[in-house]
Structure 1
Amino acid sequence: MTPHISRSLSRRTTLSIATAVAAGALLAGTLSTTGAAAKTSVPSAAPQALSASSRADLIKDASAKSAATAQELKLDSKEKLVVRDVVKDRDGSTHTRYERTYDGLPVLGGDLVVHETKAGKREGVTRATSKSIAVRTSGVSLKAAPSGARKVVWAATGTPRLAYEKVVTSTKKDGTPSKLHVITDATSGKKIYEYDAIRTGTGESQYSGGVEIGTSGSGSSFSLTDAARGGHSTYDLKHGTSGKGTLFTDADDKWGDGTNNDAATAGVDAAYGAQVTWDYYKSVHGRSGINGDGKGAYSRVHYGNDYVNAFWDDSCFCMTYGDGEGNAKPLTSIDVAAHEMSHGVTSATANLVYSGESGGLNEATSDIFGTSVEFYAKNTKDVGDYLIGEQIDINGDGSPLRYMDKPSKDGNSLDAWKTGAGNVDVHYSSGIANHFFYLLSEGSGKKTINGVDYDSPTSDGSTVTGIGRDKAEQIWFKALTTYFTSNTDYAAARTGTLSAAKDLYGADSAEYKGVAAAWAGVNVS
């Protein structure tokens, strides 16, 4: 879409935020023919780039016929559909994502996606649950609602039932805010489920060299506001832990000095990370902003003291970065920024619940797109790789936080699916999908990409041939936005990605077969 530019001057400024390093030194080694190859043609089933107004019109049209759609799907008369999003493919097909209500109550885990051709013929429906939402909402004995809770219908696990949802706000020991959603059965009072709405990750400022970032202003008054990218702005919390912070401003439009001596340096990295993430989603997937509505989020840096983390929060639609141990290492690298903001994309689309196998898929989606953005940026100081947090040195030996080619190398992550995978911390069960994505992109066995050596095994001893990262990204994004639902597990993720590969490349294609082979390589069938 054409960006809406405010009357103030929007500028792209070259900023030297660290000493330049020769590209050759960082590009040593053999480049992968699949990892950094030229872009392939975009399939007709890939998402179409939509302006904010076009998307709004599609949502309005879908909302106007939501009652008729509910009848066509033979939903209960007490059920209503509420449009969350509409994705339109290049061939004119649409995928409309709905939330449900039942007798006026929100149905958690009742979301569904209706797939239609350009002519409006329904091709299928992807449902979070296949169970009928038929619960008694009156004339039943209920436990007293927890203070501040709301009544809902819980349909994500087991038989749909009346429940209460309470959000418990607190702060964890490391300083991370927590918004714990606790679901209890309305008749027994027993806890059914819980998940934290704050998505967290770790990383370190990589100081991406001389970069261009969007700023606004003129004369002697500039701000770190990118008018060309939905008005994304960057704020300084000055080691506080609440509020929006203070917008970064400057008199000469030259920001940061490449060190922590200048508070604006972390602001530059955060703004640059947001910029390349925005550009990636728009250029590669036709998505304008995290919500797809052309509006920018905002970033906060210098959160707390010695805070070794970063997090995305849906409620403020914002990204927050700590400064690391000793306030010396702001967590504002490209892959960390893209990882955290991709949690927002997931929330706006499939809304994968941040617990169990869906939580692992949520985390993996952020690792997948964090990695994808890092490759897309082509930054000579932070070249693309399949390592997560490779510069954080959290282990004190220079090793990365996570490995996509063999996740278990970190000592905790899963290489393949196993019984009980949903009980593993989401940052470690994510290894299953991370490994799948690596195998799908690059294949199994030994190889060197951008100077980094990889050796990816398979759970069944098979040899997997990669289809290229560009195609793997298209498949994962289409699956996320059109086939995944709030409680998608690994088996359903396999089904969704196969459907996406079929749509994009055909059921007899090498890409479709590659998806099946990669899932088999991580024991998902």
Structure 2
Amino acid sequence: MRSTPHSSRRVRSSATIIALAALVAAGVQAGTAGAAPAADHVDASGAHLAPLAPLSTAQRSALITAAQGSSTATARSLGLGAQERLVVKDVVKDADGTVHTRYDRTYAGLPVLGGDLVVHAKGKRQTVTKASSARSIAVPSTTPKVPAATAQKSALSAASDAKTAKPAANGARKVIWAVTGKPVLAWESIVSGVQKDGTPSQLHVITDATTGKKLYSFDGIETGTGTGQYNGQVTIGTTRSGSSYQLLDNTRGGHRTTDLNQGTSGTGTLFTNSSDTWGDGTQSNRQTAGVDAHYGAQETWDFYKQTFGRSGIRNDGVASSSRVHYGDNYVNAFWDDSCFCMTYGDGQGNNNPLTALDVAGHEMSHGVTSATAGLEYAGESGGLNEATSDIMGTGVEFFANNPKTPANYLIGEQININGDGKPLRYMDQPSKDGTSLDYWSADAGNVDVHYSSGIANHFFYLLSEGSGAKTINGFSYDSPTYDGSTLTGIGRDKALAIWYKALTTYFTSTTNYSAARQATLQAAGDLYGTNGSEYQAVAATWTAVNVN
């Protein structure tokens, strides 16, 4: 969550590793994320339909099973090679019947980094969005010339360069690197350890298996009734067990909140209490942080469910878990796919837990991104990943409508992470934090993802509320534009719908800002029509942050 190595999602090893999106046409009919939609989603009265057709867990599972069963035929229709296979990751369905199937790819049984793609099908019409420009995969041999031990040595060296404490090599696996240029056989090595701020580290290093050249590296851990410290007295989902109560919410997939008791590993101890009244609003009561974390998970679940029809982070009805009181003086929070859990530190002096509502929504949204587009946490795609969590975390805050936590377009304003009482980030003018980018430039991909995220955060604010000075919900904003244009917002609900639609159906692991423009235009066209004011507003707003 903080603006240094940060909050976390464990990167899927099959995800691509760099932000160089190429939306490539293939299949029965070529198309890209910028193509006009097959049909506007309107009913006979002219009213626009919901973006997605609600699917039960069983219906989604059936679609995934059917898609996997026909994956060989799909691969042939896309012109993939004989040794390539498609593995279904997710399926979503639009209200007009369009089915979007997201696949990972393998070659000769090896994961293809950069192989993910989304097939969009309606009737006999099929288009595809790819993460890589490679139409098909072919390498001379799957036998490496460089041994795994050499690759692991290189990975340990990279961990040393990154100042990772307690590094330990956790093996290497063969993969196909297809993110840029000609696909090559490679090793993916993982080194565990501890980042400088105490966050766990899972450093992935990609090494050419023929030449031994390091191709890329990234860290898989991304650094965003009870009475809580931030949220006040709230109603939370609990479970009675015998004569006691547990912070276990069986109405939302079985979400559990546990106490790590300043530890840095394990699942922690489930919070229990003799009565169903939890915490007292003070940090000295260990339940207080648990209440805020449990409430944050609850509101995030309800936001996704009621706003988008999404049942949990993976859309499978299964809850994540939350762990509080991590480490000693740990000033961060992170999401980790490997435990499917949220983890919160207690802040400087163990006095400011990172359990604020927008932080909870931010961090768990990393899990949603991982389960959908898998935006790689590096370069421009990393900025979009981080911005997605800010955007959805803001959505959670407005959805909750808690007067104790007034909704706003500021990020982390309650946790005082910098020690000066100021927010961590500003969506209306990101550069007010002294580092974040208001507008895109050719160097955006070289900027830390917490700061390049400002481009998309600024886009979202402008699309929602428009430019210029205004007061919203008691907070003052003054948002500029790159081209000096004056913008009128389309409203936060529509802006959220467009971003979520783009994330779940058109973004891939390598989507960059240019591709995000095309994907959100496609999403706006799907939802509101290509002749609608919303579509025109998306185009004008990207121009206003210098993405053309």
- Does TM, normalized by the shorter one, top 0.5? yes
CA distance in 2, matches of 1:335, 1:295: 21
8 Å Cα contact 1:220/1:250 also seen in 2: no
Paired residue for 2:285, among 249, 259, 262?
A: 262
2:463 aligned with 1:440, yes or no?
yes
Deviations 1:236-265, CA, capped at 9 Å, x for gaps: 000000100101111111111111121011
Which residue number in structure 1 is paired with residue 216 of structure 2? 193
8 Å Cα contact 1:133/1:155 also seen in 2: no
Residue identity matched to 1:276: E
Q: How does 1:14-163 map to 2 (within 5 A)?
A: 43-44=48-49, 46-117=51-122, 120-138=123-141, 142-145=145-148, 146-147=151-152, 148-163=171-186
Which residue number in structure 1 is paired with residue 26 of structure 2? none
Change over 3 Å in CA distance of 1:449–1:104 after alignment to 2: same
How far residue 137 of structure 1 moved from its aligned partner, in angstroms, is: 4.8
Paired residue for 1:282, among 296, 305, 317?
A: 305
CA distance in 2, matches of 1:43, 1:482: 18
2:447 aligned with 1:424, yes or no?
yes
How far residue 49 of structure 1 moved from its aligned partner, in angstroms, is: 2.3
Paired residue for 2:332, among 286, 302, 309?
A: 309
8 Å Cα contact 1:164/1:183 also seen in 2: yes
CA distance in 2, matches of 1:234, 1:137: 50
Percent identity, aligned pairs only, is 66
2:381 aligned with 1:358, yes or no?
yes
8 Å Cα contact 1:44/1:89 also seen in 2: no
8 Å Cα contact 2:381/2:510 also seen in 1: yes
Residue identity matched to 1:507: T
How far residue 417 of structure 1 moved from its aligned partner, in angstroms, is: 0.6
8 Å Cα contact 1:350/1:481 also seen in 2: yes
Residue identity matched to 1:66: S
CA distance in 1, matches of 2:137, 2:260: 48
Q: How does 1:357-376 map to 2 (within 5 A)?
A: 357-376=380-399
Residue identity matched to 1:89: D
How far residue 45 of structure 1 moved from its aligned partner, in angstroms, is: 5.5
Q: How does 1:157-236 map to 2 (within 5 A)?
A: 157-201=180-224, 207-218=230-241, 220-236=243-259
Q: How does 1:375-394 map to 2 (within 5 A)?
A: 375-394=398-417
Counterpart of 2:478 in 1: which secondary structure?
Answer: strand
Which residue number in structure 1 is paired with residue 539 of structure 2? 516
Which residue number in structure 2 is paired with residue 327 of structure 1? 350
Which residue number in structure 1 is paired with residue 505 of structure 2? 482
Counterpart of 1:462 in 2: which secondary structure?
Answer: coil
Which residue number in structure 1 is paired with residue 518 of structure 2? 495
Change over 3 Å in CA distance of 1:206–1:407 after alignment to 2: farther
How far residue 218 of structure 1 moved from its aligned partner, in angstroms, is: 4.8
Residue identity matched to 1:98: Y
The range that moved more, 48-57 or 363-372, is: 48-57
How far residue 208 of structure 1 moved from its aligned partner, in angstroms, is: 0.8
Deviations 1:52-83, CA, capped at 9 Å, x for gaps: 11111110011110111111111111111100
CA distance in 2, matches of 1:460, 1:169: 45
How high is the TM-score relative to the length of structure 2? 0.86
How far residue 407 of structure 1 moved from its aligned partner, in angstroms, is: 0.3
Number of equivalenced pairs: 480
How far residue 135 of structure 1 moved from its aligned partner, in angstroms, is: 2.7
8 Å Cα contact 2:229/2:283 also seen in 1: no
CA distance in 1, matches of 2:119, 2:50: 15
Residue identity matched to 1:122: R
Residue identity matched to 1:190: K
Change over 3 Å in CA distance of 1:416–1:70 after alignment to 2: same
5+ long unaligned stretches in structure 1? 1-40
8 Å Cα contact 2:331/2:417 also seen in 1: no
Which residue number in structure 2 is paired with residue 4 of structure 1? none
